A and B are shown apart, each in its own frame.
Chain A
Amino acid sequence: MKNLISVITCIVILSIQSTVYAVSVGERAPIFNLTTFESEKRINLSDYRGKVILLDFWASWCTSCRQAFPVLNSFHHQFKAKDFKILAINVDEDPKDGKHFLRRYSADFTVLSDPLAITPEKYQLKAMPMSFIIDRDGIVRKVKVGFKVTDKISLYRDIKMMIKE
């Protein structure tokens, strides 16, 4: 009986050890330093302190990301003059897949590459795509898991509200 209890205890401990929680609302957004796809220019999140950031994680194999890109393009054009910046981080292991995707689904906003998946690990993504709206002080204010076309309205409202603050 004692052994059975110890076996069950070990199984429970080992199965919960991998439970980690994504960066949530109110936390400081983890800093990253990544290169862009186009110019291999290094971008640091802290470079955009004072701006509202929509940080979007995407991958070439993610079907919802295809729907998200036109919406992100429209946000980029609507708000680019208002201290707003979109940073989209590609997490494909092979950046060629991301480049191939971008040939089909153009992105007018800044796209970064993270083939080593350091940033998704820092943000502990739960799904793909996943986006974070970060305020001017670098604090995460909204977390969006997944994407549906109807999310455009709520995202628009959140961005507009945060720019006004």
Chain B
Amino acid sequence: MSRYLLIASLVIVAGCSPVKAWQRGDLSHQEMQFNGDSLDARLNSHIYFSKEGASGEASIGGGGCGCN
């Protein structure tokens, strides 16, 4: 059993390879972003920050006025 675990671990780990700095072209495409629309994401983040400011959203304090 543990031998199979060893082989499986080796196969899985050997397949892991970091993406090099110069190979990130495909990852930088718009379709690959978590937030499809960066402007929309910033607006959502701002609203969330304003609402949750009093409880310290994003680890920054704020009064919840939405003015910062």
A residues bordering B, Cβ < 8 Å? Answer: 3-4, 6-7, 10-11, 14-15, 18, 57, 59-62, 91-93, 97, 117, 120-121, 125-128, 130
Contacts and interface: CB of A to CB of B under 8 A. Distances in A.
Contacts, number: 53
Interface centre among B3, B6, B16, B22 (most CB of A within 10 A): B22
Contact of B18 (A18, A59, A97, A125): A18
Interface of B: 2-3, 5-6, 9-10, 13-14, 16-18, 20-25, 28-29
B10 A10 contact: yes
A4 B10 contact: no
Given A3-B2, A6-B6, A7-B9, A126 B21 contact: yes
B21 A125 contact: yes
B24 A61 contact: yes
